[in-house]
Structure 1
Amino acid sequence: MGFTPEFFLYAAIFGLTYGILLQKADFCFVASVRDFISVKDSRVGKGVLILVATVLLGWGTVLTLGLASIEQVWTTPIGWSNLIGGILFGVGMTIAGSCASGTLYRSGMGYIHFWIVLASMIVGNLLFSFIYNPWAEDYYFKPLLVTDQGYSLFQLNLPYLFLPLLIVGLMIFIAIRQFGIKGFFQGFKESFADFKGNPFKKEHWDIRLVAALFGITATVQFVMMSSISLTGPETRIGGVALSLIFGDQFVYNNVYLNQMFAGFPVIGLGPEETLVIFIIVGAFLSAILSGQFRIRKPKAARMPYAIGGGLIMGVSSRMAPGCNIANIVGASGLSVSSIIVIIGMVIGVVIVTAFVFKMPLLLFQKMDMDMEFEMES
């Protein structure tokens, strides 16, 4: 990825697009698992599946056409670290009340709670950077390593579209078995209903359509820039803050942060960091246009959830590595490590949902009502 003006422009456009889409659909990975376990609500879960299907077909197509190379598919070394990091991230985001992408768009909507979650995540990222060498590197990553290189199933000696068509075909077959052919196609028709009139003034868009648009956007970004990532750029944003306080050499002396800024001309914000910032801007603009932006002050009782959950998310996103959105898109690129991380995240959400909060959906609905009451009073 370059550091030319056009890459920063691309990043801003992609970030604005993601921010608008996330805000319009209330798209949050933790909710997809939490809501289904709590009240059997599969709305967000369907969106996640459509996102996966869209990216699978999109990336398979661009690889087939030679518009991108297999080296651009985001993969990381495979190990038990993927599973452990994923479980802890699932625990952290359930405690915090939102995933990494949900934290960004809700910050843009005026939720102070999620600004605290975001700040805590960045602190968690930086905490990990100071325990990486030698402790995490020598006593966590290396002992748990299975392969020292990442691997995508796209690397199998098969046509790039074979597995995507097979997987998506199976998904469609299951959907038709459940809803019938008429119901399946009726879902397509219903997903466009929110685009009547001025869609930007509407509070919500159908999550199925948003998921497809998100997947298309991620595919275009894959061709033009890279795969989407959130917590890696957030770590570098924290590194930039440290450099402003303690100087650049302080950051370069840290083994982990030094690696994070490898390829950067200087310690500063690159295109990926710009994309993350503009997700918040996009969500803010979307909320303004639909009249949903309000400063929502959380109760003091929520602060331990925001800080503790954010810290766990920050540390575990470096352990996995990656956040929910990076690994959902990575799993859609058939990355084995990302598939393991996502399995871990689901386990983490299930653990907290089933054994800690019991009914977290109702808990967070009550918390949201408390915030609205505080704002109005």
Structure 2
Amino acid sequence: MSVTENVPRTPPASDRSTAPQAPPARVGVAVIGLLLAAALGLAVHAVGGPRMAVLYGIGLTFGVVLFHSRFGFTSAWRQLVAVGQGAALRAHMVMLGVACLLFAPLLATGTSLAGAPQPTVAPIGVSLLVGAFVFGVGMQLGGACASGTLFAVGSGQTSILITLAGFIAGSVLGAWHFTFWTHDVPTGPAVSLAQTLGYAGALAVSLLVMALVYALTLLIARRRRPPEIEQPPRARGLARVIRGSWPLWVGAVALAVLNALTLFVSGKPWGITSAFVLWGSKLLAAVGVDVSRWAYWSTPDRAAALHASVLADRTSVMDFGIVLGALVASAASGTFVLHRRVPWKLALGALLGGILMGYGARLAYGCNIGAYFSGIASFSLHGWIWGLLAIAGTYVGLALRPFFGLTNPKPTDSVC
């Protein structure tokens, strides 16, 4: 079972004694992870300076939070579509609501350590619709989203490396086709609710929509009677902080706070997949491909990133932090396990899913983090549209999963 697909719940008092207990910590792996994290932190500080080192630390914390809360995006939409279980999607609404509350004053007052903060606002057009839908399909085949891929790699799930390889390849392919999707097909304006309604109005409308989504999932649950969510291993008492699973709402609030902290420190919200296209493009450049001629790399910021060290790239540094943070957290909890054998059907699905996600993220101006989470927190209409199209893609992804040896939740099963 993939850790990216677990979504914990807090069991009632009557069944807490039967919750699976956390296995012994993998002390050796945890020590190696801490040493690697410290060494990379020193390198990041040397190359990128103190602010980049702080962002690396935030990335490490993201990895710990994602692992301990098993905060799922892929599984959230799969559970809702397949069996009507909306607990994880309700956690999304909590996360988004807290993020909006924190983003609003920062954006309204122009407060950050890197000058005026820049919200994540993107155009609404064909590329957004196609990209988000394709990403939704890819999530269900690849078994993880962008954030899930990184923390699963850190947790020892070597099979997810196939998804990551596809993610990088698809991102590069999307950058190669960037001109077609952004200039040759219809593209509309970027719509900011904050510019249209003011920050107070945008916040009120956003919270209202989130409340309606929350209520809708409860209505769906009442009609479909979804199964309970399977519990991951957990520890008792204070040990739960470093060795067990956290309540889903804790992960939701923590992710929102960390995203706001990212905005405050760097002047931009959290993102993940721009690093994937950077890594892939650098690999192509290393073997002689002149990717700098692509329109995607023509902007000054991207051109500078292409020729600089990845340790000077904010998103790359935070992505590395997520992997190492999850590694240390999973080792401390005793769940770090390397998966050496991957069935060929599963590997094929992981690769195809990764390619679809990478390509879709470039078309849709981001992934479940950059477009959905940070877009909605920035009061951009494209974030909500991204979420709706990703759910639509989930239906197709669920229909395709059995062809790759993947199962879907059933009403008679516990979901995870």
TM range (shorter): 0.7 to 0.9
Aligned twin of 1:338: 383
Aligned twin of 2:96: 52
Aligned residue for 1:246, secondary structure, equals: coil
Aligned residue for 2:71, secondary structure, equals: coil
- Pick from 202, 226, 230 the counterpart of residue 163 of structure 1: 202
Q: Determine if the alignment matches structure 1 residue 105 to structure 2 residue 151.
A: yes
Deviation at 1:113, TM superposition (A): 1.6
In structure 1, stretches of 5+ residues that fail to align are 180-192, 367-377
Aligned twin of 2:296: 256
Deviation at 1:176, TM superposition (A): 8.7
Aligned residue for 1:146, secondary structure, equals: strand
| Whole-Å separation in 1 of the counterparts to 2:55 and 2:118 | 17
Moved more, 259-268 or 201-210: 259-268
Aligned residue for 1:334, secondary structure, equals: coil
Deviation at 1:331, TM superposition (A): 1.5
Aligned residue for 2:303, secondary structure, equals: coil
Deviation at 1:87, TM superposition (A): 0.4
Q: Which runs of 4+ in 1 moved over 6 A?
A: 173-179, 358-362
| Whole-Å separation in 2 of the counterparts to 1:57 and 1:327 | 18
Pairing 1:176-325 to 2, within 5 Å after superposition: 196-225=237-266, 226-246=268-288, 250-259=290-299, 261-264=302-305, 266-269=307-310, 270-297=313-340, 298-325=342-369
Change (3 A) 1:132 1:201: closer
Pairing 1:102-181 to 2, within 5 Å after superposition: 102-133=148-179, 136-137=180-181, 141-147=183-189, 150-158=190-198, 160-168=199-207, 171=210
CA contact (8 A) 2:140 2:401 kept: no
Change (3 A) 1:296 1:155: same
Change (3 A) 1:301 1:231: same
Deviation at 1:163, TM superposition (A): 2.9
Aligned residue for 1:264, secondary structure, equals: helix
| Whole-Å separation in 2 of the counterparts to 1:265 and 1:124 | 18
Task: Note the aligned Cα RMSD (angstroms).
Answer: 3.1
Deviation at 1:151, TM superposition (A): 2.8
| Whole-Å separation in 2 of the counterparts to 1:170 and 1:123 | 35
Deviation at 1:127, TM superposition (A): 2.0
CA contact (8 A) 1:201 1:290 kept: yes
Aligned twin of 2:25: none
Q: Determine if the alignment matches structure 1 residue 92 to structure 2 residue 138.
A: yes
Aligned twin of 2:129: 83
Sequence identity percentage: 22
What amino acid sits opposite 1:279 in the alignment? I
| Whole-Å separation in 2 of the counterparts to 1:361 and 1:35 | 18
| Whole-Å separation in 1 of the counterparts to 2:287 and 2:378 | 38
CA contact (8 A) 2:345 2:404 kept: no
What amino acid sits opposite 1:93 in the alignment? M
CA contact (8 A) 1:34 1:360 kept: no
| Whole-Å separation in 2 of the counterparts to 1:36 and 1:178 | 8
